Chain A
């Protein structure tokens, strides 16, 4: 029974599963050996039963006749040692049927000879049955091992194919000539191939153009020589969409140790390549901006310090202008160095001046380009500095209204800086860097009007929304 269960589960029809007598007999033969008492007791009982049948059926004629099948059955069912015991007991039993107490040697010589032949042939049968038992058990063990291997192989295959189809890489197996013989499910998806049969057997390098195709051929040649190689290239998918791939090509070794096939794994690196490009671009842009900013700092230094005068005051003014420049960069860096929101620039620059909420800011959303951001930052800084020295911020009650409007139809922008509640505004006699910056306006091209009134300074700045965005 145990042997039967060990090979069960595979579900294939075989001898152990055959019903009827042969099947039951086989089960009986390969069954595990019983304990010694059962074996030897069984053998003795079987021989005893045979002896009684012998007495009833045949009396003293053909005394060995029934014992041979009994010994065979005992051996089959209980094992070889039980068979040997049964043989000995059978010989005694059979001999007892023909014993002649008066004979000098208990039996007639012919009976002795028959007994010896019986013992020898029956022991031979016991040996044969034993060999049969062993052979059947070995066959069962082999079949069990084979079934176990098949189950393991099926599990391994299911595991591997699960791994392959879970991968988003394009995993291909190529023949040595480079023709496609397998592609993973995920590979078909990323390569946009609907049916593998469309590409089966096609030369892999032919899916690429020019440089990529040459790289693929080189990689195949290397793999044929047992080397793994790697390349990156732009390769179109089956539907013609360009993607950037990272491709590894390696040899698959066969059972004899030589290269049997070639494995090619391609990973879609399109977004990585784009990010790399972007980073490179941004890096170049930053290097450019840094040098440009140094140029601007140099210009501000010339303009602030190059005119003689009080060095202390000059250095202080220089530092404040650099701070205005830095706030322009702060706002720009939040917008990837390409744009800034007008309100953000205004609040950033005026934050240091507007300590008591004296600036009222109002205006719609408006995008500024990098140059306009820089111009506006420096300009607002100069206006606020002026107001601190001579205008609305120089007295406690002074206020500034800063607002801007965009004309929806023309896109014209008008920004107004109006100082109120301070001393009357007086036009300066000397034009320094500050007033030049103010006059250059929002885009550096002018468009500034200044009104010096008793109520305070009013500055109107004009530009177009397009100019501001592009500058």
Chain B
């Protein structure tokens, strides 16, 4: 995380508490040319968003194990940081069951890696 590179890579925050999925998501983000920022859980993610105002793209798993509804966290992030773009994924919901925050994009698990990467690139490009 946070290595200095000649070309500034836009950061993408990965909020995923399933270790294997997080590891793979971080790799995906990195391979796509972004700076992967890793959050193990929601509290950690909020802390990172507070201290890293440069984070504009969030990739988040809505399947939260400890009684927190991921979609509520996503809505709170949207309210608190309106410019942030969100890519959401879940195994426990279908797209029609969710009221997504504005501009958020949802991919049900298992996700398609190229779709995720394309969406991240589009979001990062729109922001610039």
Stretch at the interface among A129-137, A157-165, A246-254, A285-293: A285-293
Instruction: Pick from A288, A302, A378, A444: contact of B113, CB below 8 A.
Output: A302
Within 8 A of A (CB), among B54-73: 63, 65-66
B40–A444 touching, CB < 8 Å: yes
Residue of chain B at shortest CB distance from A301: B24
Residue B7 CB within 8 A of the other chain: no
A292–B91 touching, CB < 8 Å: yes
Task: Name the one of A291, A437, A444 contacting B17, with C-beta atoms under 8 angstroms.
Answer: A444
Interface membership of chain B positions 91-114, coded 1 if the CB is closer than 8 angstroms to chain A and 0 otherwise:
110000000000000001111010
- Interface of chain A residues 375 through 409 with chain B (CB within 8 A): 375, 378
Q: Complex Cα distance A437/B24, Å?
A: 11
Cβ contacts under 8 Å, B19 to chain A: 371, 374-375, 437, 440, 443-445
Task: For residue B16, give the distance in angstroms from its CB to the closest CB of chain A.
Answer: 9
Whole-angstrom CA separation of A303 from B25 in the bound complex: 10
Max chain B Cβ within 10 angstroms of own Cβ: one of A291, A300, A437: A291
Please determine whether B40 and A295 come into contact, CB atoms closer than 8 angstroms.
no
Q: Which residues of A contact B17 (CB under 8 A)?
A: 371, 444
A-B contact count (CB 8 A): 77
**Chain A residues near B21 (CB, 8 Å)?**
295-296, 299
Instruction: Give A305 Cβ to nearest chain B Cβ, in Å.
Output: 12
Q: Are A444 and B108 in contact (CB under 8 A)?
A: no
- Which residues of the other chain, B, contact A437 by a CB distance below 8 angstroms? 19-20, 23
How many B residues are at the interface, by size bracket?
A: 20 to 34
Given the known interface contacts A371-B65, A444-B40, A470-B66, the answer about A291 and B109 at a Cβ–Cβ threshold of 8 Å is yes
Q: Give the residues from 291 to 328 in chain A that come closer than 8 angstroms, CB to CB, to chain B.
A: 291-292, 294-300, 302-303
What is the chain A residue whose CB lies nearest that of B92? A288
Enumerate chain A residues within 8 angstroms of B40, measured Cβ to Cβ: 444-445
Which residues between 15 and 70 of chain B lie within 8 Å of chain A, taking CB atoms?
17-25, 27-28, 40, 63, 65-66
CB nearest neighbor in A for B40: A445
Chain A residues near B113 (CB-CB < 8 A): 302
Chain B residues closer than 8 Å to A288, beta-carbon distance: 63, 91-92
Interface residues of A, count at CB 8 A: 30
| CB–CB B110/A297 < 8 A | yes
The answer for the CA separation of A247 and B91 in the assembled complex, in Å, is 38
Chain B residue, CB-CB nearest to A375? B19
- Complex Cα distance, B23 from A370, in Å, reads 18
Interface: A227 (CB within 8 A): no
Cα distance A294–B111 in the bound complex, in angstroms: 9
Chain B hits for A440, CB < 8 A:
19, 23
B91 near A303: Cβ-Cβ < 8 Å: no
Looking at the assembled complex, report how far the CB atom of B116 sits from the nearest CB atom of chain A, in whole angstroms.
11
Q: Does A436 contact B (CB under 8 A)?
A: yes
Alpha-carbon distance A107/B24, docked complex (angstroms): 144
Query: Can you spell out 8 A-B residue pairs with CB atoms less than 8 angstroms apart?
Result: A288-B92, A291-B110, A292-B92, A298-B110, A302-B28, A303-B20, A303-B27, A470-B66
A residues lining the B interface (CB < 8 Å): 284, 288-292, 294-300, 302-303, 369-371, 374-375, 378, 433, 436-437, 440, 443-445, 470-471
